[in-house]
Amino acid sequence: MAASYFDVDGTLVTTNLVHPTLFYMLRQPTPLHSLSKLGKALAKAPLLALAELQDRRIFNEMLFASYEGMSEDRLLTMAEEAFERVMKPALFPGAKELVRTCLDRGHEVVLVSGALDFIIKYLAEYLGATDIIANRLELKDRFATGKLLRPVVAGPEKAKLVRDHARAHGHDLDDCFAYSDSYSDVPMLSIVGNPAAVNPDRKLRVLAETYDWPIIRLDRAA
Residues that bind another protein (CB under 8 A): 4, 94, 97-98, 100-102, 104-105, 107, 177, 179, 194, 196, 209, 212, 214-218, 220-222
Helices and strands (H and E) in the chain: how many: 9, 8
Minimum CB–partner distance for residue 186 and another protein (Å): 16
Minimum CB–partner distance for residue 112 and another protein (Å): 16
Minimum CB–partner distance for residue 92 and another protein (Å): 10
CB 90 within 8 A of CB 13: yes
Minimum CB–partner distance for residue 143 and another protein (Å): 41
Minimum CB–partner distance for residue 136 and another protein (Å): 28
What backbone phi and psi angles, to 5 degrees, belong to 11? Answer: -95, -55
* Cα angle value 164/168/173 (rounded, 5°): 65
Which CB sits closer to another protein, 119 or 196?
196
Which CB sits closer to another protein, 60 or 199?
199
* Cα angle value 211/217/219 (rounded, 5°): 145
Helix (H, G, I), strand (E, B) or coil at 139: strand
Through-space distance between the first and last CA atoms of the chain, rounded to whole angstroms: 31
Which CB sits closer to another protein, 17 or 111?
111
Alpha-helical (H) ranges within 55-128 are: 56-64, 72-82, 95-104, 117-127
Which CB sits closer to another protein, 155 or 200?
200
Which CB sits closer to another protein, 134 or 178?
178
